[in-house]
Amino acid sequence: MSSLKPILLVEDNPRDLELTLAALEKCQLANDVIVARDGEEALSLLTHRDPGSGEFTLVPAVVLLDLKLPKVDGLEVLERMKGDPETRHVPIVMLTASREESDLVRSYQHGVNAFVVKPVNFRDFFQAIRDLGVFWAILNEPPVTTRRPPASTYAKGV
């Protein structure tokens, strides 16, 4: 397992999930990608603690978060993460098909770090995901935190 923080991808659309994973793989990031298929699963992953140490078992480099999700929508996931002192520092990119201005405004009001509309064109979508992966997993310098669980606690999901 890599000692790098993983990328948490929260996506319920099977086609978009497959394309996103392929694009991230193509840019050859060393980060593992953990997949949650709804907002409830994402929150469960982000709040799970190791019973022995009490440390979080997942502290991602970035969360790529779809807006329209089953069970718990992306805005609620965003609001809960940014409202919690333990997870507010984690960068969140809203990755959505929505072009509604109200979704954009509400996302930024709740503290999203970036709002990216999924391109319809396959090549543009692929390039956008590659660019996001490279920026957030390689180029971005995250804040220093004291919560750094051992790499062995990260579970790769697909």
Q: Are 36 and 70 in contact (CB under 8 A)?
A: no
At how many degrees (to 10) do helices 14-26 and 122-134 cross? 60
What superfamily in CATH does domain 7-141 come from? Response regulator (3.40.50.2300)
Q: Give me the pLDDT at residue 145, please.
A: 57
Q: Count other C-beta atoms under 10 Å from residue 72's C-beta.
A: 17
**The two structure tokens encoding residue 66:** 């779809």
What are 48-88's pLDDT values in tens digits?
888 888 887 888 989 999 999 999 999 999 999 999 888 99
| Dihedral angle computed from the Cα positions of residues 80, 137, 49 and 156, in that order, rounded to the nearest 10 degrees | 120
Cβ–Cβ < 8 Å for 147, 85: no
Which band of pLDDT confidence, cut at 50, 70 and 90, is reported for residue 11? very high
Distance of CA 144 to the CA centre of its chain: 18
- The answer to whether the predicted template modeling score (pTM) of the entire model surpasses 0.85 is no
pLDDT digits (tens, 9 = 90+) for 114-149: 999 988 888 888 888 888 887 877 777 877 654 444
Spatial separation of the C-alpha atoms in residues 106 and 39, rounded to whole Å: 17
The residues spanned by each domain of the chain are: 7-141
Cβ neighbour number for residue 84 with a 10 Å cutoff = 13
Q: pLDDT tens digits, residue range 103-113?
A: 999 999 999 99
| CA–CA separation, 89 and 81 (whole Å) | 9
- List CB contacts of 47: < 8 A, sequence separation 6 or more: 56, 87
> Which of the four pLDDT bands, split at 50, 70 and 90, describes residue 37?
very high
pLDDT at 2 over 60: no
